[in-house]
Amino acid sequence: MTDWLLGLVPQYGLWLLAATTFLSCLALPIPASILMLTAGGFAAAGDLVLWQAFLAALAGAVAGDQLGYWAGRGLGAGLLARLRADPGRDRLLARADALMDRRGVLAVFLTRWLLSPLGPWVNLVAGSTRYGWPRFTAAGVAGEGVWAGLYVGTGHAFAGNVQAASDMLGSALGMVGGAGAVLALGYWLFSTPRAAARGRKRH
């Protein structure tokens, strides 16, 4: 399916790009990142306009996030209960729920680009728990801007060499994720003894 979609980019361009990012934010298995890289390559060749490709990808992603949020808000616990019947989706929803509970705005922002497999499930959790729409939208737009900018921009920089661009981005995002995990572990190791000491003082 990926090759078929890539073949449609020159013909349908911006509309296809917006549609794929929209559908990917609804947890459908659409290779949106690859299409953004490809669109960036077409922009480098002059077949698309770079800023228009970026805005198309961003608009589709934001629209998908909003649909997921309002689906969660409108259908709430009943929708989540049906989704949790599948063990795979249940695990993803549990992780999204825990992440939203601990991080809120940061969780929405990071699951747009760094932890993107959790993005659609965070949308549903945010809506079903009636997380503030303005905060959700602001964090979502910022995160999707990073996602679209990274992939469309990298595709443009690599002039359509999708494999090289994908490898580079995968390595870079892996390094960012690893550094974040190290920082989080360091914070936990530093804060846990202090919290325990404060607890002992109260008693």
Using CA atoms, how far apart are residues 100 and 108, in angstroms rounded to an integer? 7
Closest CA relative to residue 148, chosen from 8, 4, 1, 17: 17
Considering the domain boundaries, does residue 59 fall inside one? Answer: yes
- pTM, two decimal places: 0.81
Asked if the structure places residue 141 within a domain, the reply is yes
Domain-located, residue 48? yes
Which tokens go with 75? 């259908």
pLDDT digits (tens, 9 = 90+) for 17-58: 999 999 999 999 998 998 999 999 999 989 899 999 999 999
Q: Looking at the predicted structure, is the pLDDT value of residue 167 above 90?
A: no
List the domain range (segments joined by +) for residue 42: 2-163
Q: How confident is the model at residue 173 (pLDDT cuts 50, 70, 90)?
A: low
Residue 200 in domain: no
Does residue 185 lie within any of the structural domains? no
Q: Is the model more confident about 168 or about 43? A: 43
Ramachandran category for residue 55: left, alpha or beta (phi over 0 → left; psi -120 to 50 → alpha): alpha
Name the pLDDT band for 10 (thresholds 50, 70, 90): confident
Residue 159 vs residues 65, 124, 155, 163: alpha-carbon distances, Å: 29, 36, 6, 11
Residue 174 resides in a domain: no
Of the candidates 90, 71, 89, 84, which has an alpha carbon nearest to the alpha carbon of residue 128? Answer: 71
Q: Which of 8-22, 121-135, 158-172 has the lowest mean pLDDT?
A: 158-172
Q: How many domains does one find in the chain?
A: 1
Token couple for 79: 């929708």
* Pair 39, 17: CB distance under 8 Å: yes
Q: What is the pLDDT of residue 127?
A: 93
In a domain, 189, yes or no: no
pLDDT tens-digit map of 68-115: 999 999 988 788 888 888 998 888 889 888 888 888 889 999 999 988
Q: Looking at residue 186, what is its pLDDT? A: 43
pLDDT band at 183 (very low <50, low <70, confident <90, very high): very low
* Lowest mean pLDDT segment, chosen from 44-48, 118-122, 160-164: 160-164
Q: Would residue 69 count as lying in a domain?
A: yes
